[in-house]
Amino acid sequence: MSIYKRAQQWTTFTRVWHLFDAKWQNPFESAKIIQKYLAGLHKPIYGPSADTGDHVVVINSKEIALPGDEWQKRVYFHHTGFAGGASWTFAWELHEKDPTLVLKKAIYNSMKGNLYRHTKMERLHIYPDANVPQEILENVTNQIRRPRLIPKRLDEYSEEEVEKFPKLIDYPEDYVIQKIK
């Protein structure tokens, strides 16, 4: 192999670092997208054993949004292996303990259970907020688009915009509007 061809091989198989902002995103929906980048499915040279996967840096995993009442209903099971060692943790409990775990498990479960799964998971870097170490962030050259828009809260609109908005009804005088802190 000539020097030129070897360099060409390196360029083709270069690992790209992608960034994903998980703010207000459904982790199970995002997992399907992120998993493709980790496996390299977005590349034309993809092969299951060709090791074409990329790195994905996920930020703001603390602000993920589970659909419906999944925070209360979703349960993560763990068994220590000893008698009576079973434990069930609610999604909200797990999220309080480690705000990266719900997303991490969602991505892990979205992948096929084969020997490549651990290698692919090694290339996933999840951070609970936007504070990413410089040595990680400087590698990033691409951003993955989030599947959904971030909804805007009422208190985030200016008063002028609220005034201009067409009103369907007037609240009754004794109606108490809860203030968002």
Among 31, 59, 91, 107, binds other proteins (CB under 8 A): 59
> What is the dihedral angle through the alpha carbons of 74, 100, 104, 19, rounded to the nearest 10 degrees?
130
Among 43, 62, 105, 117, binds other proteins (CB under 8 A): 43
In the numeric block, the tokens 């067409």 are attached to 166
With binding defined as CB under 8 A, does residue 178 bind other proteins? no
With binding defined as CB under 8 A, does residue 64 bind other proteins? no
In the numeric block, the tokens 């084969």 are attached to 114
Q: Kindly tell me which of 43 and 62 has the beta carbon lying closer to other proteins.
A: 43
With binding defined as CB under 8 A, does residue 153 bind other proteins? no
Q: Environment class of residue 5 by beta-carbon count within 10 Å: exposed (0-12), middle (13-18) or buried (19+)?
A: exposed
Among 50, 122, 147, 154, binds other proteins (CB under 8 A): 147
**C-alpha pair distances (Å), 159 with each of 83, 164, 181:** 60, 9, 17
Tokens at residue 106, please?
């969602």
Tokens at residue 60, please?
């703001």
Among the candidate windows 38-46, 92-100, 103-111, 153-161, which touches other proteins by CB under 8 A? 38-46
With binding defined as CB under 8 A, does residue 2 bind other proteins? no
Total residue count of the chain as it appears in this document: 181
Tokens at residue 29, please?
């929906």
With binding defined as CB under 8 A, does residue 130 bind other proteins? yes
With binding defined as CB under 8 A, does residue 146 bind other proteins? yes
Among 78, 112, 118, 148, binds other proteins (CB under 8 A): 148
With binding defined as CB under 8 A, does residue 32 bind other proteins? no
Beta strands in the chain (DSSP E): 17-21, 55-59, 75-79, 86-90, 124-126, 140-144
Contact residues: other proteins, CB under 8 A:
8, 11-12, 14, 16, 19, 21, 43-45, 59, 130, 137, 140-149, 165-166
